[in-house]
Chain A
Amino acid sequence: MATIEVQRQVLPILANPNQGARFYNPELPSSEPFVPGHRTCAGCGPSIQYRMTSKAAGDNTILVGPTGCMYVANSSYLCTPYNVPWAHTQIGSAGSFTAGVAAAYEAMIRKGKWKGQYPNIICEAGDGSASDIGLASISGALYRNHDCLIICYDNEQYANTGIQASSRTPYGGMTTFSPPGPEVPEGKKLFPKDLARMMAAGHPHCYVATASVGYPIDLMNKVRKGLNHRGAAYLMVYTPCQKGFVYETPRSIDLGRVVVECGLYPIWEWNPEKREFDYSFRPQNIRPVSEYLKLQGRFGHLHAEHIATMQKFANEQWKMMGVELPEALLQAADPKNQVNMAAAAEAEAIAETV
């Protein structure tokens, strides 16, 4: 059958901001698909991510926003900050709606109903959508290999609905559905679902990577790699939630670094050609998890043994990354070498609800 061939964009990879000892960000695209005037929290991690992502993608882009903060807060009262086409979809429809858009453009371009280069189709799903209710639909989109990028902006909870536990909420994380109390001193008992690895293992033909707002250029480059990849790509981005994590607003980027340096958010890439994980990313330094926890109110209630438990978890991740564990981290995994958080006592005192 004679059909029109689909032309696809190729976005250049940005240079490393650390040029020798010099810190100097590469030249960034001038287009601004995400403009100010939205109701996200001051210092909102996800919206930092949204801005970087859309900037990396450019103007020939279509955004899909399943229900979540980036829908409710960004498009409030029929005011929209999106300078590119954006559509809300149901929280469980992240992957499928995106697939629909992708399929539509494949067909319309092929049949001459739309002229131009195939747009970047990006889905911005929260972790609730990506790891819980929309998991199947995203898996479906990845499996079917539509040419699109599905991003999970992972703020480790349902923030929009007022901080509830998701399957991405870390062990010990306090949420309104996992509050601490005398019976449950650690708040959340379960460890988070390893979503990104699940996506890589289950859809080995896709480009899969994890990133953090703490490393903007790395993040933007992974977005571009994902878009340049012919077929589906999945990106998991750590985006601190000021409201739910309870930290000082200026720390949004800082947390993005510290979480990686503490081994709680491994940064890696899945190479679909070689069919292997690339663990080469290394943070500037490696720290004990306590340095990450103490920055956030949601961990304020933790006792020594809980912190040690998290350190064990982090150590496992380091091992997986192939990192030789410093003695300090092994020590930190022993409750004896940890101290209770400031509010551990209050957590119990306060527990009785009025």
Chain B
Amino acid sequence: MSYTELTVWTRGIIMDKEGRDIVNSVSASARLEGKYAQAMENYVDNPDRTNAPTRKYCRISDRVLENELTYENEHPNIVVLVEGTMVKGWDYMRGMPPGGTLIINTHYSPEYMLRFVPGVERLAQLVCVDAAHLAHHKWLYYRLGELGLDRLSTEGAAERSKLIAPDIAAPLIAAVVKSTGIVKMETITPMIANKNAFEMALTEMKIMQFNPVAV
């Protein structure tokens, strides 16, 4: 059976929607492809706080998900850091089985970022994509007005914005899908609002390959 866990680390409040868009769109496409999929917000650490780490989880399987009610992804195969600096902060590699993928939003190269990554031996690939730049994201705050509207869903309320990945989520989704093939490109592409950034990321992303060892 194939079972994949995707964990997205993002910053509370200010980049909450970005993280949510990634897991939502990926799991939605997985459903369209007939797989069993689940996307959820971190609950244990709610209410989240500005700049605090919050995690979004996605689980995809070809069998029914029996661990639907567990709080966290214990063995993420794919980890996404929506904000590059988080690479310095936590053991986001914890529980990752060998052959995992780490995707970071940063203008730095994988070679540079490598120094901050714990447990590299488990990695099959380290992907860096300058999502903020590709999506013309005014770091960290932009268009306060619309941001205000998005904020309303940070506590897991109904999604207000009809747009999926209007901003830095788009290039990151592109990186996830292209580097891991977790879902088919053609199923996810139509969902993405920021097509331009999505397309650019496919070519601009920098991938570094490894030969992972079991730990």
Contacts and interface: CB of A to CB of B under 8 A. Distances in A.
Interface of A: 39-44, 72-73, 160-163, 174-176, 179, 242-244, 246-249, 295-301, 341-344, 346-347, 349-354
Given A297-B144, A298-B148, A343-B145, A353 B13 contact: no
Contacts of B157: 162, 176
A285 B52 CA distance: 36
17 contacts: A41-B51, A43-B50, A72-B47, A160-B47, A162-B155, A162-B157, A176-B155, A248-B140, A296-B144, A297-B151, A299-B148, A300-B149, A344-B145, A346-B145, A350-B160, A350-B161, A351-B160
Contacts of A174: 148-149, 152
Interface of B: 12-13, 47, 49-52, 140-141, 143-149, 151-152, 154-155, 157-162
Contacts of B12: 41
Contacts of A72: 47
Contacts of A243: 13, 49-50, 151, 154
Given A41-B52, A162-B47, A247-B144, A347 B149 contact: yes
Nearest to A175: B152
A352 B162 CA distance: 8
- 10 nearest CB pairs, A to B: A300-B145, A297-B148, A343-B145, A162-B155, A41-B50, A297-B144, A42-B51, A342-B145, A353-B158, A246-B148
A343 B144 CA distance: 8
Contacts of B145: 297, 300-301, 341-344, 346
Label chain B's interface by main secondary structure: loop
Contacts of B151: 163, 243-244, 246, 297
Contacts of A44: 49-50
Contacts of B147: 246, 297, 300
B161 to A, nearest CB: 5
B149 A162 contact: no
Given A73-B49, A174-B152, A179-B152, 17 more contacts: A160-B47, A163-B152, A176-B157, A243-B50, A246-B148, A296-B148, A299-B148, A300-B144, A300-B146, A300-B149, A343-B143, A343-B145, A343-B148, A350-B160, A350-B161, A351-B160, A353-B160
A350 B151 CA distance: 12
Given A163-B151, A243-B151, A346 B49 contact: no
A343 B147 CA distance: 9
**Which residue, B145, B146, B160, B162, has most C-beta atoms of chain A within 10 A?**
B145
A247 B145 CA distance: 10
Contacts of A176: 152, 155, 157
Contacts of A344: 145
Contacts of A43: 50
B146 A343 contact: yes
B191 to A, nearest CB: 12
Contacts of A179: 152, 160
Nearest to B50: A41
A39 B162 contact: no
Contacts of A350: 146, 149, 160-162
Nearest to A250: B141
Contacts of B49: 39-42, 44, 73, 243
Contacts of B160: 179, 350-351, 353-354
Contacts of A39: 49, 52
A290 to B, nearest CB: 13
Contacts of B47: 72-73, 160-162
B15 to A, nearest CB: 12
A354 B159 contact: yes
Contact of B146 (A40, A163, A248, A346): A346
A242 B52 CA distance: 13
Contacts of A300: 144-149
B52 A301 contact: no
A42 B52 CA distance: 8
A72 B47 CA distance: 9
A346 B150 CA distance: 11
The residue among A39, A247, A297 with the most chain B CB atoms within 10 A of its own CB is A297
Contacts of A354: 158-160, 162
Contact of A246 (B52, B144, B161): B144
Contacts of B154: 162-163, 243
B132 to A, nearest CB: 16
A244 to B, nearest CB: 8
B23 to A, nearest CB: 15
Contacts of B50: 41-44, 242-243, 249
Give the one of B13, B151, B161 with max A CB within 10 A.
B151
A248 B142 CA distance: 9
A354 B20 CA distance: 14
A251 B49 CA distance: 16
